[in-house]
Structure 1
Amino acid sequence: MTDLGGTSGIVAFAGDWEGPVVATSVHAGHGLRPEIADAMVLDEQVRLREEDPFTDRIAEVVPDRAITHRSRFEADLNRPRREAVYRRPEDCWGLDVWHGGTLSRELFAGSLATYDAFYEALAPRLDALAERGPFVLLDVHSYNHRRDGADAPPAPAEDNPEVNVGTGSIDRETFGPLVERFLADIRQGGGCGPIDARENVAFEGRALAWFVHDRYPGVGCVLALEFKKVWMDEWTAEVDEERLACLRSALASTLPGMREELEKLR
């Protein structure tokens, strides 16, 4: 059952959140509140390229998940609050986003309210999970690897795994075996052949992981998953449905092992 009672169109929650594995895809949203859309000069296609479109389709293999609707260009839910709103080009890959070159204080405050609403809605659900014992949050993202242009060579594979597993702030003493189990399982590919999955090559996890690990030490474990956009064209947003299905299958194949490892910690 899906809870559609999201916070002012910012987030909704699917599943019953009984745990112990939940998921987010906080950069999948593309929506903007009207006053932010009116202030924005950024081309929509460029904006879409820097968001994580369709990562919600990967995350949905986990029944219990948060579904976010707003663009990271309104509020970046995976940055610390002080950095969560892109006000100047240097905040977001040098892109010109706003009329006049910067975001007004009033609109900035409204975007911080979006950020706060997400965490205020998420926290009670995670609190309840933590009361029942150790849990995992799969923080699903994607990343670009053809930044030099649609026809240019992709970034070298040795520095850009198909799945980057961010574990930078994890309590390894407690959750190390779970991380190793996850890596072993996802590398098998869920029946679609091996997947190149490695830890912390380009991304280690950011604000959402920090929030969980600080709030639930020794209990909450966030795996920040960055799926390289080999399953879509990052310039046109055209999806390779077959490859996407394989990545979904690979992620789904990790769920039994994670539940087993969490049970050992109870």
Structure 2
Amino acid sequence: MDRQHVVAFTGPWDSQVVATSVHAGHQVRPDLAEVMILPEADRFREEDPFTDQIAAAVPSRMITPTSRFEVDLNRPRREAVYRTPQDAWGLQIWRDEVLPEALFHESLRTCDSVYAALAARLDAVAERGPFVLLDVHSYNHRRPGPDQPPEPAVDNPEVNLGTGSVDRSRFGALVDRFARDLADPELGCGPVDVRENVKFEGRQLAWWVHDRYPRIGCVLALEFKKTFMDEWTGVPDRDAIACARTNLAAALPGLATELAALS
């Protein structure tokens, strides 16, 4: 199978700050689409639409048009393909409930090919010295229903900064600087509620980078609360997306400064 649709790389990849948005995509390959019964709106709700537009603040990035329901690139390989409802929040995804074995293994091969392609890019980045990968995601905060109030802000920051597997002895000053800059009311579009590891700590992509590039790679897993869209209708707020992208861009110079200090 031609896997060129799964990911693409854009930008020069000559910087020490790169980005991914591995759940932004909505495409599924034809053989999976034939056996998928999950309504498209439900699938869209569990994806991270428009996060690729936020990640576009970073010139060098991996673009993922493929849905997490084909392969979830932020889960360990053994969990990367949703085979049963238990793998995906109880959702009935496949016509016969369980994804057929052949399709399952094809998706695993896709997972392997994506990580191999990313490794080739990051190996070159790591040869130049310490780097940051901004892993851009989003999360729902209105799960009780479209007519219900949003979940309390005290437990749902505007941006959750996931650093659970970051080597703080090496990158602690960088993490703190980034959090301050992203929240700074004088930068970007104004003040942002940024808190660390409140809802998410980063997962497979962060684990993989930190294991492959110890003391060299630093993944900051960014979960933007879906205030930039209506999570039930899927309608985006273009101004809010642009603002999130501007805020992220405003924090990039600080990252460059901290990386230079580490080098």
TM range (shorter): over 0.9
**Match for residue 129 of structure 1?**
125
| Structure 2 residue matching 1:226: 3-state secondary structure | strand
Counterpart position of 2:244: 247
Specify the alignment match of 1:43 in structure 2. Answer: 39
Q: How does 1:50-61 map to 2 (within 5 A)?
A: 50-61=46-57
User: What is the CA distance between 1:243 and its match in structure 2?
Assistant: 1.5
Contact 1:135 1:221 in 2 (8 A): yes
Q: Give the gaps of 5 or more residues in structure 2.
A: none
Q: What is the RMSD computed on CA atoms of the aligned residues?
A: 1.0
Aligned to 2:159: 163
Cross-structure match for 1:196? 193
The equivalent of 1:83 in structure 2 is 79
Q: C-alpha displacement at 1:8, in angstroms?
A: 2.1
Instruction: Tell me the CA shift for residue 193 of structure 1.
Output: 2.0
% identity of equivalent residues? 64
Task: Write out per-residue CA displacement over residues 109-156 of structure 1, whole angstroms, 9 at most, x where no aligned residue.
Answer: 011111111101100110001100000000000000000101101111
Q: Are residue 173 (structure 1) and residue 183 (structure 2) matched? A: no
Q: 1:26 aligns with which of 22, 28, 33?
A: 22
Please tell me whether residue 71 in structure 1 is matched to residue 67 in structure 2. Answer: yes
Q: For 2:97 and 2:129, how far apart are their aligned partners in 1?
A: 47
Structure 2 Cα separation of the partners of residues 16 and 263 of structure 1: 19
Match of 1:263 in 2: 260
Separation in structure 2 between the aligned mates of residue 57 and residue 164 of structure 1, nearest angstrom: 18
Paired residue secondary structure (2:34):
helix
Unaligned 5+ runs, structure 1: 1-5
Deviates more, 1:100-109 or 1:186-195: 186-195
The one of 72, 94, 103 equivalent to 2:99 is 103
Counterpart of 1:230 in structure 2 is: 227
Check whether the contact 2:50–2:241 (CA below 8 A) recurs between aligned residues. no
Report if aligned partners of 1:188, 1:250 keep a CA contact under 8 Å in 2: no
TM-score with structure 2 setting the length: 0.98
Name the CA distance, whole Å, in 2 between partners of 1:98 and 1:45.
15
CA distance in 1 between counterparts of 2:259 and 2:223 reads 22
- Give the Cα separation in 2 of the matches to 1:114 and 1:45: 24
Contact 1:29 1:51 in 2 (8 A): yes
Q: CA–CA distance in 1 between the matches of 2:138 and 2:172?
A: 24
Once the two structures are superposed, residues 187-208 of structure 1 have per-residue CA deviations (whole angstroms, 9 ceiling, x without a partner) of 0153422110000000000000
Q: TM-score, normalised by structure 1?
A: 0.96
Contact 1:10 1:117 in 2 (8 A): no
Residues of 2 paired with 1:200 and 1:116: CA distance?
Answer: 28
Q: Aligned partners of 1:221 and 1:257: how far apart in 2?
A: 14
Q: CA deviation at 1:7?
A: 4.5
Separation in 2, partners of 1:46, 1:90? 16
Q: Which residue of 2 aligns with 1:145?
A: 141
Cα contact 2:3–2:110 (8 A) shared by 1: no
3-state SS of paired residue (2:73): coil
